[in-house]
Amino acid sequence: MSKYLVTGVAGFIGCFVAKSLAQQGHQVVGIDNVNDYYSVALKRDRLELLEGLPGYAFHELDLADQSGIADLFQGEQFDTVINLAAQAGVRYSLENPAAYVDSNLVGFLNVLEGCRHQQVGHLVYASSSSVYGANAKMPFSVHDHVDHPLSLYAATKKSNELMAHTYSHLYQLPTTGLRFFTVYGPWGRPDMALFRFTEAMVQGRPIDVYNHGKMRRDFTYIDDIVEGVVRVAERVPQANPDWDPESSDPGSSRAPYKLYNIGNHEPVELSRFIAAIETALGIQAEQHLMPMQPGDVPATFADIDDLSRDIGFRPQTTIEDGVAEFVTWYRDYYAV
């Protein structure tokens, strides 16, 4: 069994990745700064789900704390690091850009340095579908260049991929970046559409529907994301000896570096998404149609052929099933 560091363990994805690894018998150290970007109570309740798991330990620690992160790496000697801590949210990056630099750039550099100096065997890190930015070619492929981000959040995630490649090249640190596509499910983030729509509908308020409802998202259920992350963590990337610098494929390298999309490979119209919530709640939504927000994109669609080929996994959960699971959790958690 291996020893894992999971950063962002109070977060939506981090919590359940840590839980899965611990239940498989691995040693897991989780860290999180438990910031107040959204409900601290929800984050604390997620952490309670992990308490008492054999081989699991938690440290409240900020990625931007250079000496604290260095001491952690030196003291623990991790086999694999899964970096899921980040300042999330496209829209919040318009309001508080400094938070994204501290967490997503400075924090990620500290993780890279820890992995480098302690010779970690594999760094898996969260990227995002937002890196595709102004790309219009569908489905989004890791083999396409992503040079036109539309938000600072997206720019920091693209920067993470560039920083990881540098460390893979200079220090032979195996790194794998995972571009997540709209993750949802029980215990999900309150700033995401599923949570906000459900909350508004339960409270009898209208829902704000952006781009006048002409949106499509490759919604990906949390259980599928967790299985993908865990499987990828077990597959250490190798240098691609056939990589051609003249064609410059962004998805691999002569360094031990790899990128994958993790999405459902099924873009869902916003109307179908809202209908699934209405069915699960038994409530008709009052829709407030609004223009597109700055930094947003009209559609996402993941090409997951590389993920399927390399780790033999494709997400399967339908939006109707996943939304129903979320609504069941929401009603139970908030007693409504």
Higher pLDDT, 321 or 213: 321
Averaged pLDDT, 236-242: 95
Residue 246's pLDDT band, with cuts at 50, 70 and 90, is confident
Q: What is the mean pLDDT of the chain?
A: 95
Percentage of the chain lying above the pLDDT 90 cut? 88
pLDDT reading at 154 higher than 90: yes
Residue 297 confidence (pLDDT): 81
Residue 1 confidence (pLDDT): 87
Residue 88 confidence (pLDDT): 87
Q: Which residues are catalytic?
A: 153
pLDDT reading at 229 higher than 90: yes
Q: Which of 204-213, 217-226, 270-279, 314-323 has the lowest mean pLDDT?
A: 204-213
Residue 120 confidence (pLDDT): 98
Q: pLDDT digits over 290-323, tens only? A: 898 887 788 899 999 999 999 999 998 999 999 9
Q: Are 62 and 68 in contact (CB under 8 A)?
A: yes
Residue 91 confidence (pLDDT): 79
Residue 90 confidence (pLDDT): 80
CA-to-CA separations, 104 to 125, 146, 168, 244, in angstroms, rounded: 11, 18, 18, 30
pLDDT reading at 171 higher than 80: yes
Residue 179 confidence (pLDDT): 98
pLDDT reading at 119 higher than 80: yes
Averaged pLDDT, 39-54: 97
Model confidence, pTM? 0.96
From the number of C-beta atoms within 10 Å of its C-beta (0-12, 13-18, 19+), residue 168 rates as: buried
Q: How many C-beta neighbours within 10 Å does residue 321 have?
A: 12
Averaged pLDDT, 124-144: 95
Structure tokens at 275: 């209908």
Residue 213 confidence (pLDDT): 82
For the chain, the straight-line distance linking the first and the last C-alpha, in angstroms and rounded, comes to 42
pLDDT reading at 259 higher than 90: yes
Give dist(CA 134, CA 48) in Å, integer: 40
Which amino acid, one-letter code, is at 301? Answer: F
Residue 268's pLDDT band, with cuts at 50, 70 and 90, is very high
Averaged pLDDT, 91-103: 88
DSSP labels for 142-168? TTS-----SSHHHHHHHHHHHHHHHHH
Sheet hosting strand 27-32, strand order edge to edge: 56-60, 27-32, 3-7, 80-83, 122-128, 175-180, 257-262
Half-sphere exposure of 190 (CA within 13 A, CB side): 12
Q: Which of 59-63, 77-81, 188-192, 287-291 has the lowest mean pLDDT?
A: 287-291
Question: b/e for 99-132, b at 16 or more Cβ within 10 A?
Answer: bbeebbbebbbbbbbbbbebebebbbbbbbbbbb
Averaged pLDDT, 39-52: 97
